DNA sequence: CGATCAGTTGAAGGGTCTCAACGCGAGTGG
DNA sequence: CCACTCGCGTTGAGACCCTTCAACTGATCG
């Protein structure tokens, strides 16, 4: 689907700060109230249903979020937690220079605002990249909810733990590789997450622009563009604007293993490496060789 | 204190994989058992004491960890959660090439193994950088403990949230700056965390080596060394091996604000920068000018 | 005391940033 | 309807920061 042209999402995924509501997390029209919402959230987070008749007085609404709309603003009072039901979100911070640093992308099943549990205001901003929906839980209700529905507390812990794992994977991605390898790892992570949501792991539509990917990966957006071209020239992927198809997943995974130092300081190397030769970095050579 | 020479911690902070216990988190001699341990942990995490007489059958021990010893190995079954009571830890992953990617450092008050809550085996390894101690809580007891001592569950959530916030700050650090700025931001974060533990925010002893800092920051260790020299030449810090003194915290913070693009896509620049001239990137110029 | 390792510094090369130009699509308003 | 504007994505060219290799110092340890 989505056979529309190049910038189909342009009008909705532009610079945020548009039609955001800011405060008042429950101020949007609730499409659904609490009879089965708890069950939905628990299923969303991968937990088994339990005695969820207890918490009938605690509000939990499904909120619809338009593309470009903000769920949370950096520095504003943090009153709610969100569970992504559908759509895509970006988590970011805005520098005082105006530079937008993307910290993560979130899709179905993930929790938003978990980093605000330990403080009074949101440390990061959240905005939707497309038409999305989230379950809203007020922070002041989290404790009671965890008491009344124990599996909710467990599921919340698991979701937070998962978010931390994702963030650590991102650190690993950012810290020690060349730009094409960064992009390859990013695509693999994305592919895994899409598969976890029942989507195709080989072919998907990027909800974010090149600039946002570049911000996440810590490179210039031109470099992301060049990296896409390089991966395509290597036959790993097929890219047409935001439509991505992974042609050679094994090759991509193998390429994503490239490290910065091809010969590192571990003296007694556990696995001897016979194929790397001196006087050549190896990674760029590998890319060029495969591209030729 | 610690007037010893350059590599005082060498024998204890060397390559890990030494006297690690691996499995069996409770297999070390417990120095203390549960009467007041819960109160200690709650205070450690910044929560107020509560009805902690309920959970007298749940084991919670204070485990001593020697420098270089591992608390968790990547991929081994995850059975426990740890709360740092004293000392310093590094969280890292080892690439199949043997390259050690540091993901975070942890000090007093932080939780270790939170990312393992959502899976069966530890996704990251943890080892001590110095003589340290942690409270050990078995994963299978976390649920019961949260039920019996509600403030424990809240404190655990807060600790996880804090860890996620730290990880996001690290992503921000890694993603978009030059090496000296990276180091400056790293030092500022470290300073803040030291202050949070009651230590001096201006003068402290680095528990980790240049290679480990370099791995965290995603640069070569020589670059870290040069960045230290550059910050010292700018008069920001005074560095003698692992002893660091921050001389000009305001200047350091100001310098840490430097972004990659000195003229970014925000049209109306709020702070005009008069000293940068064309045909020069500006950040290196700034460093050299201050160093001269 | 030789070996080893952490840390520093220098020199050369290359990958990335930055600036620039171009094509393209969408929205706007004449 | 169509020029116009705007933003996204791509590609090229030059400058430069970082990586890599190398050598050196100093300290620890067997």
Bases along strand D below 7 A from a protein CB: 7-13, 15-22, 26-29
Residue A195 CA to residue A187 CA, distance in Å, equals 12
Asked if A229 CB < 7 A from strand D, the reply is yes
Domain B176-291 sits in CATH at 1.10.10.10
**Percentage of the residues of chain A whose pLDDT score is greater than 70:** 72
Burial class (CB in 10 A: 0-12, 13-18, 19+), A51: exposed
Ordered by start, the domain boundaries in chain A are 37-169, 176-291
pLDDT tens digit sequence for B58-107: 778 899 999 999 999 999 999 999 999 999 999 999 988 888 999 999 99
Chain B 2-61 contacts with nucleic strand D (CB below 7 A): 4-8, 10-11
φ/ψ (deg, to 5) at A137: -125, 125
Cβ–Cβ below 8 Å for B218 and A101: no
Nucleotide in closest CA–C1' contact with A217: C16
Q: What CA–CA distance (Å, rounded) separates B253 from B224? A: 18
Please answer yes or no on whether A160 and B114 come within 8 Å at the CB atom.
yes
Closest CB to A171 among B171, B257, B270: B171
Q: Which fold has domain A37-169?
A: Jelly Rolls (2.60.120)
Confidence of residue B6 (pLDDT cuts 50, 70, 90): very low
Q: Which helix (H) or strand (E) holds B125?
A: strand B125-128
pLDDT tens for each residue of A81-108 = 999 999 999 999 998 878 899 999 999 9
| Closest CA–CA distance from residue A10 to any residue of chain B (Å) | 18
What percentage of residues in chain A have a pLDDT greater than 90?
A: 55
Question: What is the structure's pLDDT at B16?
Answer: 38
How far apart, in whole angstroms, are the C-alpha atoms of residue A73 and residue A126?
Answer: 7
Beta carbons within 10 angstroms of residue A169's beta carbon: 18
Helix (H, G, I), strand (E, B) or coil at B169: helix
Residues of B in contact with A142 (CB under 8 A): 157
Tell me the pLDDT band of A184, cut-offs 50, 70 and 90: very high
Q: Using only C-alpha atoms, what is the Rg of chain A?
A: 21
The answer to whether the CB atoms of A160 and B164 lie below 8 A apart is yes
Alpha carbon distance A24, A16 (integer Å): 18
Out of B98, B103, B156, closest to residue A266 by CB: B98
How does residue B15 score in pLDDT terms, banded at 50, 70 and 90? very low
Query: Which DSSP category does B15 fall into?
Result: -
Instruction: Considering only the C-alpha atoms of chain B, give the largest distance between any 2 of them, rounded to a whole number of Å.
Output: 70
- Nucleotide nearest the Cα atom of A9 (by C1'): C26
What the block records as the tokens of A223 is 């470099």
Nearest to A260 by CA among A291, A233, A230, A283: A283
- Chain A contact for B10 (CB, 8 A cutoff): no
Q: Please check the confidence at residue A259 and state whether its pLDDT lies above 70.
A: yes
Superfamily classification of domain B37-171: Jelly Rolls (2.60.120.10)
Distances (CA, A) of B61 to A71, B1, B52, B114: 41, 29, 15, 18
Residue A235's closest CA among A154, A190, A291, A179?
A291
| pLDDT confidence tier of residue B271, bands split at 50, 70 and 90 | very low
Measured from Cα to the C1' atom, the residue closest to D10 is: A225
**B:233-272 residues touching chain A, CB 8 A cutoff:** 257, 259-261, 264-266, 269-270
Q: Between the CA of residue A193 and those of A49, A85, A128, A215, B65, what are the distances in Å?
A: 23, 14, 17, 20, 36
Chain A window 199-218: which residues touch B at a Cβ cutoff of 8 Å?
215-218
Q: What is the pLDDT of residue B40?
A: 76
Instruction: Enumerate helices (H) and strands (E) in chain B, giving the number of each.
Output: 8, 11
């Amino acid at each position: 689907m989505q056979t529309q042209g190049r910038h189909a999402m342009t009008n909705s995924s532009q610079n945020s700060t548009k039609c955001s509501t800011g405060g008042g997390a429950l101020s949007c029209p609730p499409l659904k109230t609490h009879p089965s919402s708890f069950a939905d959230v628990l299923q969303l987070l991968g937990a088994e249903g339990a005695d969820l008749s207890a918490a009938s007085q605690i509000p939990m609404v499904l909120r619809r979020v338009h593309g470009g709309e903000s769920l949370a603003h950096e520095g504003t009072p943090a009153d709610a937690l969100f569970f992504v039901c559908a759509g895509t979100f970006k988590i970011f911070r805005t520098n005082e220079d105006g530079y937008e640093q993307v910290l993560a992308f979130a899709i179905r099943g993930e929790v938003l605002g978990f980093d605000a549990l330990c403080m009074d205001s949101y440390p990061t901003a959240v905005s939707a990249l497309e038409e999305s929906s989230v379950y809203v839980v007020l922070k002041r209700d989290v404790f009671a909810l965890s008491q009344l529905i124990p599996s909710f507390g467990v599921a919340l812990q698991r979701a937070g733990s998962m978010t931390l794992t994702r963030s650590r994977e991102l650190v690993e991605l950012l810290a020690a590789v060349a730009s094409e390898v960064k992009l390859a790892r990013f695509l693999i992570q994305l592919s895994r997450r899409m598969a976890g949501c029942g989507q195709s792991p080989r072919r998907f539509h990027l909800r974010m622009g090149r600039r946002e990917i570049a911000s996440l990966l810590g490179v210039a957006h031109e470099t992301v563009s060049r990296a896409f071209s390089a991966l395509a020239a290597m036959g790993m992927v097929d890219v047409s604007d935001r439509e991505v198809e992974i042609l050679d997943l094994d090759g991509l995974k193998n390429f994503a293993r490239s490290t910065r130092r091809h010969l590192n300081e571990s003296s007694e190397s556990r696995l001897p490496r016979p194929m790397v030769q001196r006087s050549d970095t190896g990674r760029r050579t590998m890319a060029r060789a495969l591209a030729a």
